[in-house]
Amino acid sequence: MKTGRCIFIFRRSFLFLLCIIGFAGPAMRAAAEDKPMICAASEAIVCPKDAECFRGPVDRVNLPLFFKVDLEQKKIFSLTEDGQVRTSAIASMSKENGVLILQGAENGSGWSVVIHEADGTMTVTSAKGGEAFVVFGACTSNY
């Protein structure tokens, strides 16, 4: 019974991954044109200095599920749970070997976003006074 459930979960995850690659891959080429991107965070790892790390869905660690990356305005926009728009300025942008790297700082924390243009996969890291976050997801400008 467990094997059947594992196969079902694998198939569902694999189909989800194929959908992300199908949408994000061609769309990420638009990043070169500075087209805005919508990013979806799927999983987060939170590590406090004096406690065990937690790994799970982003909504369990009070992070936004979706955010918009506007390369032309050099800003990242997200919505809080109560509907307020948060904005963070992109201080540094670079592109190297098909990878877009964005960096910034806000409220005493530093962050980096790495987006692979080939498939749209994204990794976000952030650190602030004794706590670190790693977030995984995908971005697309095809919406």
The closest alpha carbon to 100, from 128, 131, 74, belongs to 74
At 4 the pLDDT is 41
How far is CA 109 from its chain centroid? Answer: 17
Kindly tell me if the per-residue pLDDT of 30 is higher than 60. no
Band of pLDDT at residue 63, cut at 50, 70 and 90: confident
Pick the residue with more confidence: 34 or 9?
A: 34
Kindly tell me if the per-residue pLDDT of 77 is higher than 50. yes
Q: What is the pLDDT of residues 40-62, one digit of tens each?
A: 999 999 999 999 999 999 888 77
Structure tokens at 63: 């992070």
Instruction: Give the CATH number of the domain where residue 113 resides.
Output: 2.40.128
Expressed as residue numbers, the domain containing 112 is 2-140
**Angle, alpha carbons 25-41-135 (nearest 5°):** 105
In DSSP terms, which residues pair with 95 in a beta bridge?
Answer: 100
Q: What is the pLDDT of residues 93-136, one digit of tens each?
A: 999 999 999 999 988 999 999 999 999 999 999 999 999 999 99
Number of compact structural domains in the chain: 1
Structure tokens at 53: 């790390």
Pick the residue with more confidence: 4 or 75?
A: 75
Pick the residue with more confidence: 31 or 9?
A: 31
Average pLDDT, the chain: 81
